[in-house]
Amino acid sequence: MGYYDSTDLPYYYDLATFFGTSDSWHSPVLANTVPNRMNLMAETSFGHEYPELDSNHPKYAAKTIFRAMNDANVSWLYYYHDGIFLANFADFQDPAIQPKTFPDTDLLARLGGQCSGNPCDPDKSIPQVVFIDSPSGGSGLDEHPDNNIQSGAAYVQSIISALMNSDAWRDSVFILSYDEGGGLYDHVPPFMVPAPDNNLPGHCPDANNGSTGYCTLGNLGGTFDLTGFRVPVIVISPFAIPHFMSHTRRDYTAILAFIEKTFNVPALTARDAYWQDPSLDMSEFFDLKNTPSLHPPVSTGQTGWTKLLANQTITGQCDPKLESGP
């Protein structure tokens, strides 16, 4: 097993040191990227164990967190760099949803005080919830093996720094996580959780439209009541408890439960309802009694954090041999 140290990823190491992280934060399903991303948007992969083999697969009818936020009158925007994973869902065709998706340049402009070319207040122009899709495509910024992980970290830093330098920072929470671990093992095992719904593996509710390999069923058995392996998380906010390490076992659909509990959005499935329990929700990451609880150690100004946190370099040399098997 390999790893990157603080000389490779100084910015991430600083974030995890000053803010909150967890040693038991898991992907929601023991599968690869696509079923896990389904869970991030709908709290279930509704029968899917594997990604579709055909891009013309049926658009998933499952209700997404974005439709749920619309129903609850919660404001939100969805940002992307390469592609829009939400486009796999039927919800993307909703005229109340698709127009709320923008390239990430719009987010950076808003945080910089420009909305459609006109001056604006970042704190007022940023909605209650912002979702930033991983740049999974030609940009090579998704930190996937064979891409330069430093370039991906520098991309993340550009967004967080823009937030920290704006007046939106004073009442924001930024949750950084990953869709799945990309490996086959960890010394910390997955754990049992409530199945999100009654959809069994290989029994997908959307009728196949003739696409190849739709709703493939594997040979491993089991249901959707087991998490995946651990993935990183950093909870970044003026209200974050400093230097906090959570030991509570969660999967990252707890992010949706956090949104739902904060803004009174009904749970989508049994899984996010589970993470709303006071003993399991994400409230332990925050100190809401002091406003804010986490000032930059070197400055109380909005630029204090960006001056303190290490700059992410992108000049490291990758050695492909270190990614090889024995």
- Per-domain residue ranges of the chain: 10-321
Give the per-residue pLDDT at 294.
77
> What's the first-to-final CA gap in the chain, in angstroms?
10
In the numeric block, which tokens belong to residue 267?
């749970």
Whole-angstrom Cα distance, residue 36 to residue 256?
Answer: 13
Contact 229, 191 (CB under 8 A): no
Q: What is the pLDDT along the chain (326 residues), one digit of tens a residue?
A: 678 999 999 999 999 999 999 999 999 999 999 999 999 999 999 999 999 989 999 999 999 999 999 999 999 999 999 999 999 999 999 999 999 999 999 999 999 999 999 999 999 999 999 999 999 889 999 998 888 999 999 999 999 999 999 999 999 999 999 999 887 789 999 999 999 999 999 999 999 999 998 999 988 788 999 999 999 999 999 999 999 999 999 999 999 999 999 999 999 999 999 999 999 999 999 998 877 777 776 655 556 899 899 999 999 887 777 766 65
Pairwise CA distance, residues 122 & 108, whole Å: 10
User: The CATH number of 10-321 is which of 3.30.70, 3.40.50, 3.40.720, 3.30.1490?
Assistant: 3.40.720
pLDDT of residue 219: 85
pLDDT for the residue numbered 13: 98
- Sign of the C-alpha dihedral, residues 158, 162, 165, 171? negative
